[in-house]
Chains A and B, each alone.
Chain A
Amino acid sequence: MRWLAAGLMLVTLTVDTGVARQTGQRSVARSIPYSVGRALPDRSGDWTRAAQIQMFNPGDLWEHINGAAEQYLTYGFQDLATAQYTDRTTRTVVVVEVYRMAGAVNAFGIYRQEVSPKARAVPLGVEGRASSNTIRFWTGEFYVKLTTPPGGGRMPELEALGAAIAKGLGAPGAMPVEAGWFPTAGQLPDSVKFIPADALGQAAFANAFEAKYENPGEPATALVVPFGSDKDAAAAFARYESFLAKARGKTKVASPGDGGFSATDSFQGFILAVRAGSRLVISLGAPEERAAAMVSDIVKRLGTVQAGQPRKEGSW
């Protein structure tokens, strides 16, 4: 009877979704989280999808992407659907990977972590870019990668496949509002990033956002680290300050926000760090005056651009 039930389950899955399931020792019978069948069309131009769509979960992602898995887990990976498309004439293969993340911010985060800002922009999802053999984009809570072998070419057709997949994944959404925390003047393109953990190597600095700015030599960095409460932020800030005990020229500053300190670190350069309520605002590597202006500007923006509010047009 169990054999029959299991057999029926397998047949049902194959017929309904085309998904060959990764049972995995940690999830014997997971539900399909969204319609991968609809998101991954059977055909697109000359490309035909293989019947098998493989699913991976946080417990077995490393079987698919090995050493990269830990980073995806940190970014809030939920599950992955991957399939191959083949051109029957040329036998060229495209590997499609649809990563479902914990939310749109997480999809944005892993996309920005992986994509090269030098790659060509493509109109897919909220933002997308194409390199010589890979297209990456994010839409809603999904991060999507389409890869052909090196020298595979055929990028227009790959873009068309990407567009079909993006359509199947629903409304794309918009850039995270937190991007509006950072002034745009002098900001390097695509440099706003979401850092889910260990920002600046501090174990307590999670869910941070950073932006890079033009600067002689290395770009300067502006960072905002949110906390659950003023008290938590103050505790993390005190720890960060003690971590920088050996930095040169440590000076207390009274404002902006609730004040903080400045110091010069041998690796990061000039650091200006303040607390503004439950958030820390830190500038690294910018000259003193510019750092002060930038931190003041960000503290002001924190008061007007709240996470979760729609972003004003033009502020990004």
Chain B
Amino acid sequence: MKGMNRRGFVRASAAVAAAAMTRPAIAAPAQDAPDSGRVRRFKPLGKTGWRVGDVSAGSGQRDPAVLNYIFESGINLIDTGFQYAGHEELVGKVLPKWRDKVFVLDKWDPPLVTATVTKSALLEALDVSLQRLNTTYVDCMMLHSIGHPRYGGLERIQNPAIYEAWDEAKRLGKVRFTGASSHGVRMIEDMNWGLDNNRFDLILIGANFLTHGAEPLLKKARAKGVGTIAMKTMTTYKSDLNIQALQNEQTNARQACLKWILASDLFDTLVVSMPNYDRVAEYLAVSGTTSLTARDERYLRTVAAAVGPRYCRPGCGACHGACPHGVPVADILRYKMYFEDYGEEKFAMQRYGLVPASTRPSRCAGCAAPCEAACPYGLRVRERLSEADRQLRFA
């Protein structure tokens, strides 16, 4: 931690506002640089005091020279994690040169963080990550993949050992800020718990032009001064929009997806996988965007047409209360998702078993389906509810 001794660091960590004042030169020198291959817009990252570029780097690099180039281009936040095989080590090869100019966002291995994990196990894992990253501290240590049924329920993040470990790590100068990441089915519920209990300085959430349901969560984060970062900005998991209708226009479509986030005032930055120089240039080309063009919107419509019809947006709930028979539409579609997409068949069936028979989708036949009218995304809700009933009542 060049330029600041341990005592100074602890003081800075203890008072976020003070940190903002004592670390004024943290934005990359590239700010407002005219070169199109550089970050062109910087924003405050919550109350951390860091001015973050609007485009930040996710993992995906396999060559340290690419990462070095990313930092040379003015990108000043790197998103990594224990689980990203070899990525912490790769960051560690470059980081010493950039340590004071780059915000390192790291994450514990998701299976490590359970309802029973101990403080010492978490601190041990932090030390392993610090060693891999070739640094004495990370700027933010996150809980990875909260709201994901595979790793447990809310009780997982209510484990007091996590917060004791964070406090201890901050006291030791190993962690400056804390937060959580999620793109799971209970993303909104678990993130809300963390915000309501003032556990997070930063949140990293799956968000894109199809996931409007997260707006209240993001506004709450904003109001509390919690930094907001978008990931999974292209709707699909892999950072390629392999959509036949787009043919050779994937670059334009990918850029349009990023621009949608950049034009939103709900995010401080976005992270996107940057495996090669071409992608770095492609993504930096949209840095500084504050609005979408008609052409961008056309690309987004094409992506939406390909991806949207099956995409029940986390946190939307527009269909809630629309059913005249009291069918809990969003809940049942979520159980269907647990069953189909998360491999949580038993859990899904158990949850479905708690739905009273009188409010199950067996009543959907012959219904005018006001749920479909209520869905702002035009999903075939009735058909999906009937499918869910067939799948889940095996219990």
Interchain CB contact under 8 A, A23 and B339:
yes
Interface residues in A, total, Cβ within 8 A? 40
Given A198-B63, A268-B65, check contact A69 B237 (CB 8 Å): yes
| Closest Cβ–Cβ distance, residue B256 to chain A (whole Å) | 20
B35 in contact (CB, < 8 A):
no
| Contact for A63 among B68, B124, B150, B276, CB less than 8 A | B150
Tell me the B239-281 residues at the A interface (CB within 8 Å).
239, 273, 275-279
CA distance in complex: A198, B239 (Å): 14
Contact with B along A63-81 (1 / 0, CB 8 A): 1111111110110000000
Interchain CB contact under 8 A, A199 and B62:
yes
Interchain CB contact under 8 A, B343 and A20:
yes
A interface secondary structure, majority: helix
CA distance in complex: A202, B62 (Å): 11
Given A66-B145, A70-B273, A201-B65, check contact A25 B343 (CB 8 Å): no
In the complex, what residues of A have CB within 8 A of residue B394's CB? 7, 10
In the complex, what residues of B have CB within 8 A of residue A71's CB? 59-60, 84-86
Number of A-B contacts (CB under 8 A): 98
Interchain CB contact under 8 A, B121 and A150:
yes
Given A66-B83, A67-B81, A68-B84, check contact A60 B63 (CB 8 Å): no
B310 in contact (CB, < 8 A):
yes
CA distance in complex: A10, B345 (Å): 12
| Closest Cβ–Cβ distance, residue A215 to chain B (whole Å) | 14
| Contact for B277 among A54, A60, A203, A265, CB less than 8 A | A203
Interchain CB contact under 8 A, A200 and B63:
yes
In the complex, what residues of B have CB within 8 A of residue A62's CB? 237
| Contact for A73 among B144, B238, B345, CB less than 8 A | B238
Please list the residues of chain A having a beta carbon within 8 angstroms of any beta carbon in chain B: 2-3, 6-7, 10, 20, 22-25, 54, 56, 60, 62-71, 73-74, 113-114, 150, 195, 197-203, 243, 265, 267-268
Instruction: Report 13 cross-chain contacts, Cβ distance below 8 Å, ordered by A residue.
Output: A2-B390, A7-B394, A23-B340, A56-B343, A66-B145, A67-B81, A68-B84, A70-B59, A71-B84, A150-B124, A197-B62, A201-B69, A267-B64
Given contacts A69-B237, A267-B69, 17 further A-B contacts (CB under 8 A): A25-B341, A64-B150, A66-B110, A67-B59, A68-B83, A71-B60, A71-B85, A113-B85, A113-B86, A197-B276, A198-B63, A198-B276, A199-B63, A201-B275, A201-B276, A265-B65, A268-B65
